[in-house]
Amino acid sequence: MPRTADPATRHLWQQRLQRFSRSGLTVAAFCDCEGISAASFYAWRRRLRGDAPADTHFVPVRLVAPPSAPAELLLPSGCVLRLSPDCDLAWVRQLLAALGVPGC
């Protein structure tokens, strides 16, 4: 049977995740600033998403020139995918679907 979190702890993490969404920082940088582990961050974010609709924000991205270095995608699980600049977008979508990452 899953444990229920202390209401004060739950509130602390709700506030922390709101600060993160406004921070503009990466998860790693934010966790360093807060003195928490990325694993705890992702676990609480996953736990609290069940409480309310996801507050998803999309950020427009425009690539000016083809990148010469691999692009990195940080997945909700904390895993990082490194993709070559010439990888097939359809293949990336299939890979993400196979990993259980919801599409945009």
Long-range contacts of 91-95 (CB under 8 A, 24+ apart): none
Residue 60, pLDDT > 70, answer yes
Domain ranges for the chain: 7-49, 59-104
Residue 59, pLDDT > 50, answer yes
H helix or E strand, kind and range, residue 73: strand 71-74
Measuring CA to CA, which residue among 23, 26, 48 is closest to residue 38?
Answer: 26
Give pLDDT tens digits for 7-26.
899 999 999 999 998 988 99
Give pLDDT tens digits for 35-57.
999 999 999 999 888 755 555 56
